[in-house]
Amino acid sequence: MSCRISKRKGTRFVIAEHSEICAAFACDSSVAIRPLGQGNINATYLVDSTPEPFVLQQLNGDVFADPLIVIENFATIYEHLQGANPSLRSGFVMAEPMKTRGGKLFFKDKRGGYWRAQRYIKTASTLRLGSVEQARTVGRTLARFHLLFANLHPDNLKDPLPGFHHLSLYLKDYELHASNRLEQEDKNNLFCHQRIERFREQASAIEKARAKNEMPLQPIHGDPKIDNFIFNEAAEAVGLLDLDTVGAGIVYHDLGDCLRSACSTIQENAGGDVQPMFDLNLCQGILQGYCCAGSTGRVRINPASIYDGLLAICFELGVRFFTDHLKGDVYFKVKRHGINLQRAKNQLALCENIVNQEFKIRQLIERIYTKYSDKS
């Protein structure tokens, strides 16, 4: 088998020159591979193969201590989806894991790297919502995900990332590295440091509730940012990608991540000094869609905690980006040093805008949930 690879500058992972990885999943004698997507963690490729193309991915062993957990969780939720309520499952799009020609869910290369494959879904994605109606489809899709897996016992999913979404752990890591490497004379470093100190107490509400066992665990996506949604040709959200972080978690983290990424007026990697704003109209659309899908009846939701989840996840990501910058970019993929600092600045500036609009956001959430609760 021959294996042609289109290389991308800055990619950390390189497919071995020999063709055993391609041969493990592909049936034809010649395949072409090209990088796919803009993920911050794993290396993902589209394999043009016969009879159909598929997605090949090397899991980042520096991030996922046990890649098999990610692979097994994916298989678990896919199997659960096949047995879900047909009316709820109908039209929901999710990738199907592929087995190797030997019947395994993964291939382990000579360097110890874990590779997995899934059916390629030829659909659109977006980094920016174009309308409130499109935002409603995003909310409906996230709610359907929560509903589809609401009766999957959390114990059936292993923890792919111990400590994931535990803000106190991220803050400890930040404090450890900030004390040694914080460059006070750099305005962006100083900006991030000041915002972390300013918002850390407000952003810890979900963490404190979790410590009191006031936050029930359920299967969540873990990373439902806007570019992980699948859109059809009509620009409607119909499913979710990137299921590496699926596990038992807090639903407000999912809602918060969806809202903070979809409602920001700038992209996560945007450069320059443009200040992000939190778009209340898009927020309204997403929450209306989430309510319309019936989540309030099946997934336990406290409207007052939605804002807390939004602020927590936005703040958490800012802390993580900034800490990774201080550590020398060891977690998130970057093309050059300084990108994680810009990402952190964007997230923490968005935090500031969210805090400034807290009353309006809480009022909006309460109005929407009161309206749809009256209809149920």
Number of Cβ atoms within 10 Å of the Cβ of 173? 17
Nearest to 227 by CA among 272, 271, 252, 260: 260
Contacts within 8 Å (CB) and 24+ apart, 207-212: 207/166, 207/167, 207/168, 207/312, 209/305, 209/308, 210/250
Compute the distance between CA of residue 25 and CA of residue 29 in angstroms, rounded to an integer. 11
Amino acid in the structure at residue 308: D
Inter-CA distances, 241 with 92, 145, 247, 323, Å:
11, 11, 14, 26
Residue-level pLDDT, tens digit, the chain, 376 residues: 445 544 443 333 444 444 677 778 776 655 677 887 766 677 888 888 767 788 888 888 888 889 999 999 999 999 999 998 888 888 899 999 999 988 999 999 888 889 989 988 877 667 788 899 999 999 999 999 999 999 999 999 999 999 999 999 999 999 999 876 655 568 889 999 999 999 999 999 999 999 999 998 999 999 999 989 999 989 999 999 989 999 999 999 999 999 999 999 988 878 777 889 999 999 999 999 998 875 445 566 889 999 999 999 999 999 999 999 999 998 888 889 999 999 999 999 999 999 999 999 999 999 998 887 655 5
Q: Give 145's Cβ-side CA count (13 Å radius).
A: 31
Phi, psi of 268 (to 5 degrees): -55, -40
In the chain, the domains with their CATH numbers are 2-65+95-119 (3.30.200), 132-375 (3.90.1200.10)
Helix (H) or strand (E) holding 68: helix 67-82
Place of tokens 């006031």: 214
Helix (H) or strand (E) holding 88: helix 86-89
Predicted local confidence at residue 9, as pLDDT: 39
Contact 267, 127 (CB under 8 A): yes
Phi, psi of 352 (to 5 degrees): -60, -45
Nearest to 307 by CA among 374, 247, 216, 368: 368
250 CB contacts (<8 Å, ≥6 apart)? 165, 206, 210, 215, 216, 217, 220, 309
Nearest to 307 by CA among 243, 351, 248, 370: 351
Predicted local confidence at residue 31, as pLDDT: 67
Predicted local confidence at residue 54, as pLDDT: 85
Number of Cβ atoms within 10 Å of the Cβ of 10? 10
Contact 321, 347 (CB under 8 A): yes
Predicted local confidence at residue 1, as pLDDT: 47
Amino acid in the structure at residue 149: F
Compute the distance between CA of residue 336 and CA of residue 340 in angstroms, rounded to an integer. 9
Does the predicted model carry a pTM greater than 0.75? yes
Compute the distance between CA of residue 311 and CA of residue 119 in angstroms, rounded to an integer. 35
Torsion over CA of 309, 315, 316 and 317, rounded to 10 degrees? 110
Predicted local confidence at residue 89, as pLDDT: 86
Task: Tell me the Cα Rg of the chain.
Answer: 21
